[in-house]
Amino acid sequence: MTGTGPKRAMALAAGLGTRMRPITEVRPKALVEIAGLSLIERALDKLSGAGVERAVVNLHHLGDMIEEQLAGRSAPEIVYSREDVLLETGGGIAKALALLGTEPFYAVNTDILWIDGQTAALARLASAWDDARMDGLLLLHPTSGALGYDGLGDFIADAEGRLARRPKDGTAPYVFAAVQILHPRLFNGAKVEPFSLNVLYDQAIAAGRLYGLVHDGHWAHVGTPEALAVAEALLAAQIDGGA
């Protein structure tokens, strides 16, 4: 990628948000608010700030509410990919590929809050992208500092950032931060059916073409009502601290 980052992005917003119930019984998880602004709008603001011109938003659970909320938005352009059957992360992007084009694109989950370090994470990903070596470049966060996350970590990385999975029965220093750049070729042969992006990650790992970049700011997974409170406290602390 030369000079500029991707102009298109995917915002994953179709999930049921079961762990966020009862909130998600009446609103989709993407519309859960932190300090008065929904998670999806926070993500779209960052994408717009990074130069993204079109964002594809997939819809399933209470999707009409998302469409209504974003109706007045002009930047980035919003295009919807509706899923009659929930396609999960991999199938959802596979269905939307025709709307995303042939160049690398950002993909962002809408159940996270990330606060940039000195340089915006999306810009850092764009600068680190190497089309000759990579099919995917994942933003990672140190497992020990990942708020709202209680797992054992997802990945280990070598000195060049090439990723491998957490060892079986072990731990890993990094969790996937749900922000990434993907090339459409990663989906070659993928069918439009429910499947996780992890299937394609494993294929890219086997080919030595999945890389990671460690986030240098703050990050929280907003998957439960309790985690929502933690994310709100994190954001308030950053605002109060002038960050």
- Structure confidence at residue 239 (pLDDT): 65
Q: Does domain 8-240 have CATH number 3.90.550.10?
A: yes
- Structure confidence at residue 61 (pLDDT): 84
Produce one character per residue of 146-164: b if its CB has 16 or more CB atoms within 10 Å, e if not. Answer: bbbbeeebbbbbeeebbbe
Share of the chain above pLDDT 90, in %: 79
Rounded to an integer, the average pLDDT of 57-66 is: 93
**pLDDT tens digits for 160-212?**
999 999 999 999 999 999 999 999 999 999 999 999 999 999 999 999 999 99
Distances 231 to 38, 215, 220 between C-alpha atoms, Å = 12, 17, 6
Write out the H or E segment, with its range, that includes residue 113.
strand 112-115
- Structure confidence at residue 240 (pLDDT): 59
Distances 33 to 23, 39, 83, 151, 234 between C-alpha atoms, Å = 11, 6, 23, 24, 14
What are the residue boundaries of the structural domains of the chain, listed by start?
A: 8-240
Rounded to an integer, the average pLDDT of 60-88 is: 94
